[in-house]
Structure 1
């Protein structure tokens, strides 16, 4: 089974009570996700998601952020890189929805853009009082991905329009109220609560894998969302809005953003 790695791998993996805990570990960059990390995350979820070695998966982050989403210092500069950027986000969603075990997002802090969208395909989202959701794409020339055009409405209904177009930062209380979070616990209880949820959902003799397949969105619905999102991303790229938005963000925040 895949375990801890070193170097430029920003994903830590441990197993607690038979549950895999995947921790985004790049706190100095608010756990921003580069392409390599996204590819590895999808591969690890697929390997562990068979249910042969663990009962479930918990995804969390180290430090004050769950993840700042796309690493804008490695932003795409060609057509091929734009396609790769969106495809590697999409593939995490595919990997989660293909698992035969529950996948729980333990949202320890700020979840931005594509990272916030990754949590939408998980089977539950547990937060802390420090949890915040922020989807700034509409003001940065970027478009939503990860099938969030379907998954966000599925969770929060008409609140999705306000979240995407208005780009507000949603604190944990509001996220809980509208159904974006399932539960809010104290920070030191977060990962433990997520593990307990997996254990409760996978009793001996369970049919959890069958129920996950019944309760999750259909693969064809997800792929149709990906196709629409890819077309929107290409239009944003072709218009120059994506490049201008990223450059504007970096100019405002500086090289340590």
Structure 2
């Protein structure tokens, strides 16, 4: 089943949700984020599947926010943040394991979505990149809490330096849990779900015990929302996006010489 930029496929008791906009590196607009959260909740009850796998089509997991539809007012920023946050909520509310199958580069909000998943399996082509600090944008998805929970002090250089983290380094610092060949990615994710969820009743209870607490997640959301409001008020958000498009357009323009 295809829902615009989101494909849904069920096989062997596993729901595979695939971001499918390869021409835009699977960038997500607001409607795709809303549908993703809804779909995760639909399958997250455990009534139909034993687990959920989230992945992307082509060479990217996802480029995150679609900067061609970037918010132009603070209410739009607030609403955009809400759709990102709700994906985190949806994943953490499920009664089945949720695995991020990171097939390629994961940028910004998309990389942050993987942080609340119960496991991150990557291919050698996987790469994490959170450029927000260099673009005037604030991190979201409770990543201000979740990233440090996974990688400790490495969170500072990942965010403040906007460093690109390749698959090998991501494995070394705990950002991903396993690297497998691309052709094994979805099969391995399904295999883990089968191993982890032999009894849905008990697995759901353990997921609740092992996942981050709701109050910690909601506190992170509130702090991120406050920071986003301040970034907008200072002009940093608008300036960062304008700078991004200037540099992107300059790179796309042919060079001429006399």
TM-score tier after normalising by the smaller chain length: over 0.9
| 2:161 equivalent among 140, 160, 166 | 166
List per-residue Cα deviations over 1:54-107 (Å, max 9, x = no partner): 000000000000000000000001121010111100000000000000000000
List per-residue Cα deviations over 1:25-52 (Å, max 9, x = no partner): 0000000010000000000000100000
Equivalences, count: 252
**So what's the TM-score if we normalise by structure 1?**
0.96
C-alpha distance in 1, partners of 2:251/2:192?
Answer: 37
Structure 2 partner of 1:196? 191
CA contact (8 A) 2:96 2:200 kept: no
Q: Which is higher, the Rg of structure 1 or of structure 2? A: 2
| 1:253 equivalent among 236, 248, 251 | 248
Structure 2 partner of 1:105? 100
Work out whether 1:35 is the aligned partner of 2:17: no
Work out whether 1:148 is the aligned partner of 2:143: yes
Uncovered stretches (5+) of structure 2, i.e. residues with no partner: 253-258
Work out whether 1:157 is the aligned partner of 2:143: no
Structure 1 partner of 2:255? none
- 1:65-214 alignment runs, 5 A limit: 65-204=60-199, 207-214=202-209
List per-residue Cα deviations over 1:148-170 (Å, max 9, x = no partner): 01100000001001100011100
How far is 1:256 from its partner? 11
Work out whether 1:13 is the aligned partner of 2:8: yes
How far is 1:254 from its partner? 3.0
SS at match of 2:35: helix
How far is 1:251 from its partner? 1.8
CA RMSD of aligned residues (A): 1.4
How far is 1:205 from its partner? 6.5
**So what's the TM-score if we normalise by structure 2?**
0.95
Work out whether 1:50 is the aligned partner of 2:45: yes
C-alpha distance in 1, partners of 2:79/2:103?
Answer: 28
Uncovered stretches (5+) of structure 1, i.e. residues with no partner: none
List per-residue Cα deviations over 1:179-198 (Å, max 9, x = no partner): 00000000010011111111
SS at match of 1:254: helix
| 1:22 equivalent among 8, 12, 17 | 17
